[in-house]
Chain A
Amino acid sequence: MADYHWPPAEKRSLIGKKISRLDGPWKASGRIKYSYDVNRPGMLYGKMAISPHAHAKVSAIDTSAAEKMPGVKAVQIMFPVGSEVRWAGQEIVAVAAETEDQASDAVRAVQIQYEVLPHWVMDSDPSQAGENVDKSGGNETKEGDPDAAFQSAAVTHEGHYGASVITHCCLESHGMVCEWQGDKLTAWASTQAVSIIGGQLATALTKNGIPTNASDVEVITPVMGGGFGSKFSADPWGLACAQLAKKSGRAVKMMLERDQELMEAGSRPSLHARVKVAADKDGTLTAWQSEAWGTSGPAGDSPAALPYVFRIPNKRITYTSVLTNTGPARAWRAPMHPQLCAVTMTALEDLAAKLEMDPVELFRKNLSISGARAKEYAEELDKASELMDWKKKWHPRGDKTPGSIKRGVGVSLHTWGGRGHNSNCQCKVNPDGTVEVSLGSQDLGTGTRTVIAIVAAETFGLPLSGVQVNIGDSKYPQSGPSGGSTTVGGVSSSTRRAATNALNELLAKVAPSLGVNADQLEATGGRIQVAGDPSKSIEWKQACAKLAGTPITAMGQTSPDLMSSGVGGVQMAEVSVDVETGVVKVEKMVAVQDCGLVIDIKTAESQVFGALIMGATYALYEEKIMDQQTGLHLNPNMEFYKLAGIHDVGELVVHMMTGPGYDDRGVIGLGEPPVISPGAALSNAVANAIGVRVPEIPMTPDRVLQALGKA
């Protein structure tokens, strides 16, 4: 039985080191082609006519004028007469033309008539939403005896908390380039699911009168410009792209315009809650009650599992989905966790303030009900406190120093699963010594390509340059979509197994020439050698020459022994708030994060730095603002849909928990967890600074002033 286990720390030459991402040079020199950059011979440009109404029935479509416009080669109705539009931005008709401007002209010439229906786009108060609520998913859940626990509690706190709807705002918008050769379709798609969306396209095309086999669709995504959970589907515009390409007999590029990207290509559900929480005098949490609501767009959503992390013994929770005529929600990095965290950790911090207790102490006091990661939390609270200099910086609520700039610190903690997805890896060792590692996976900018190379090179005892990684193409063995922090566990374990299987075949070929059994051999430093006796060895290339012209091809599949699930994580934030303008400035953020065995410390740290910045963005700046009068998204652009710039980021400190107790858990995903806590940590820091809670994130200046009673 082959030994697949990760090498012990002292034997790792690449795993756990700081290694630069392999595709970095291609990206930073502007040479690598994203889907948006693919230019095919004779390619047309696709654009779409979208609904200006949030709720309407399509009553008539006339494309005759559009068809006659200069440069137009194909028109496709996407959303036929009689269909019900449920958000402004719904695509109705797609056109393909010789230039982008001609396609835009043609879109303007499409005549669409609507029967306008009443709309509802607000989620701030379900009691005003009338019929537009769905309580079916979230009937009351009760545990223990909350009434008795609240009655006997030493301290009770009640408050309102929430997180607004935000969007994904991928810099490379959604879309693809489609090109047919006979019945075979090639799709250069900006996707998180290379191995999945070809099948989706084939099914949709077949249903729409273009019979297509999944095996005849190749999806290509060498790199992609951001997904964050919103790019798992071929999407209606992908289908339209393939249809237009079929009709015109030309390649077609169809990428969403920026406004479409923000209106309909993904949003994060809101969560608002009225919370009541109780504790004993020493801070032991005894009861939780929450009435929560939020919107995921036109469809309802599952109930919010409050409270977050802490399993408070007595609780009563309800959840109401507000149904809104807004672009539907898609998974957003760590689905629901940032919102649940922003409601829970803030309420607990308010409770700590009422107890005049350091919130770190309150969290520590309740680690026994924090689930499986209690040990990690304890260590991470210590480490984060040290890196933030928490004891020195924390003060009772409200910075009492004179002047309009108030400083404060906040803390939060979080958890995530991150078990590896199903992944298949093919490892090929060629007689000339070259190695190819192929998986139908994709690199979203997380470092997947680099992680695969590290694992393969480590296994073969080769330098990174000794392995070639092939990903981003559906022709390679199926590997799962990249979401939920499942990729690193999946691809690293399948690659480890495939590479070990290939190596063992090679060792068997080489063993006779070294006069030993294969199980006495190891691959290290570019050689195959007798374990413990480097004098008996053979160079990698010479070893591969013994394959007599036939390459080794070995497979490996995700396996549970190399990976695990469940991480903790603690974050602290320090802010200064101008109480005259309401502007919050991030001074410092600290992230202490575990994720089992880290394959590449460098890209792992980058993930966490990025999560802190993305988190500060949703905590302070970004919000999808809807207008009830018109039913329109008011800021579907990047001037008013605010992302943090380089000026807005203070000092960021990232510490990865590694070593004994962490490494031996195997590989666990990292993409989601560090983006969960920033909202709560920053909200708590603002409360600590100004003495009152800003209930909703983002904490824009108007909301800060409102909380201060100045607006």
Chain B
Amino acid sequence: MTKPLLTESTTPYAPDPHQDIFSKTTLGFWMYLMTDCILFASLFLVYAVLKNSTFGGPGSQDLFSLDLAFAETLILLCSSVTCGLAVLSAVQNKKKHVVLWLLATLLLGGTFLTLELQEFAHFIKEGNSWERSAFLSAFFALVSTHGLHITFGLLWGIIMIAQIMHFGIVTMTFRRLTIFSMFWHFLDLIWIFIFTYVYLIGVL
């Protein structure tokens, strides 16, 4: 006669509650964000190493506009909050509010991207593209990788609005909205470090 090793009554711990699709999806997406974080860390590292390799070209003091970067930071921070409010409205089953907050997020994100592209266009027009020096290569690699993430975030947001309008707030759309908000908050988090290490410390 063998006793069962573990029975419901004798286990000291409750079974792992994270077995449902929702928890698995959020954990999986969170892991993706963490690896993305390492990607950005590597790009920051390249930038830090090459910051003074200007090859006779302009350095960070000559190029960057602090006001523009500050405006971009505020816009992205606001869009992060509106995105959070969209999920909060979804929790309260307010479909119309979700769509409105998502639209606000996309509008702010679009403004951010436009400002960033204008800055890039301005640099390139003055002959300071990524071909000018190692410093500028590293700058464009870092900031445009973030911009590319924002671009895909905007596409995702448009699809999200269409899905919410079509399906309403159901398990599938709620799950996708949740991970979209994680993605968007994460991009705001990365931008804080770009603002600080590229722009603020760049003009010191």
Q: Do A and B bind each other?
A: no
Query: What is the interface of chain A, defined by CB distance below 8 A to chain B?
Result: none
